[in-house]
Amino acid sequence: MSEEMNITEYLARGGRLTNPANVPPRYRAELMKIMATFVDSELAGAAGFADVINAGPGIKERIAAARIVLEKTDNADRVLRIMGEFGADTDRYATHHPWTDRLPRDTAPGSTRSAHDMRLSVLNYPLDGWTDAVVMNLCMGLGVCVQLDEMVKCSYQPLADAIRTVLPVERRHAELAEEGIVRLLESGGTDAVAESLAYWHPRVSAMFGDISAGRMAQLRDWGLRDQPGPNLRALWQERLDQALDRLGLTFRAA
């Protein structure tokens, strides 16, 4: 207990941990939860995009979708290997989940997660064609980057290093989505884009769930979180508004 208290004080002063052997049990539990959420979300996101590759209207769009599937799977593997250093069965972990499982399309927005895994709640909803996939990728891509900006400050150095590699990849995915929407708008798809935005906006917004002040303070002291959910949601909304301005779209949340 005394050793754990000393590590807690070390972390509260901005210290970093680099090895599973030095990680206190409660810190370990929270760290594993953060990593599992990331890995499951990347694998579920890749599975969703794999189903729409052939819906792309041209070869460039299909290549972009295939690239997203490949890179999200690679991102998951990068963090899964860190989980393996904590004893996770990485081979079984990546293959036994039903990553393509989704809720009915008309399920109300919410933050409830799948019983099968730790994916972010928004990844429980199904894609409905190419335009829907591109719009979801813009909304979700910007949200993921907000969350990764938070994770890159993590006090567990191997995870922070992995996220530092993943972040530019995910930023490029959001850029690909914005480029895809430009092409959709040029081909007369404004109404379909607006309809998809109305569907995905509340579902992406809901993934920035809030936690109790006490738990947030504990995670901040451990260096595992910095900003509460509402702050991250506001930053995501700001970045989405900027992207929609660039696209010449107007959207107001219901």
Domain assignment present for residue 132? The answer is: yes
Do residues 97 and 117 make contact, with C-beta atoms less than 8 angstroms apart? Answer: yes
Question: What's the CA gap between 244 and 185, in Å, rounded?
Answer: 12
Range of the domain at 169: 21-97+121-247
Domain assignment present for residue 182? The answer is: yes
Which among 131, 219, 113 is positioned nearest to 177, based on CA atoms? 131
Tokens (6 digits) for 75 = 């991102």
Domain assignment present for residue 7? The answer is: no
Domain assignment present for residue 28? The answer is: yes
Longest CA span, the chain: 65
- Tally DSSP H helices, then E strands, for the chain: 9, 0
**How many C-beta atoms lie closer than 10 Å to residue 192's C-beta?**
17
Do residues 109 and 199 make contact, with C-beta atoms less than 8 angstroms apart? Answer: no
Domain assignment present for residue 253? The answer is: no
Domain assignment present for residue 49? The answer is: yes
pTM of the model: 0.92
Domain assignment present for residue 131? The answer is: yes
Question: What's the CA gap between 222 and 11, in Å, rounded?
Answer: 5
Domains of the chain: total: 1
Do residues 236 and 230 make contact, with C-beta atoms less than 8 angstroms apart? Answer: no
Domain assignment present for residue 13? The answer is: no
**Residue pointed to by tokens 């995915």:** 173
CATH code, 231 = 1.20.1260.10
- The per-residue pLDDT string of the chain (254 residues; one tens digit each, 9 = 90 and over) reads 455 558 888 998 899 999 999 899 999 999 999 999 999 999 999 999 998 999 999 999 999 999 999 999 999 999 999 999 999 888 877 777 888 889 999 999 876 666 668 899 999 999 999 999 999 999 999 999 999 999 999 999 999 999 999 999 999 999 999 999 999 999 999 999 999 999 999 999 999 988 899 999 999 999 999 999 999 999 999 999 999 999 999 877 76
The length of the chain in residues reads: 254
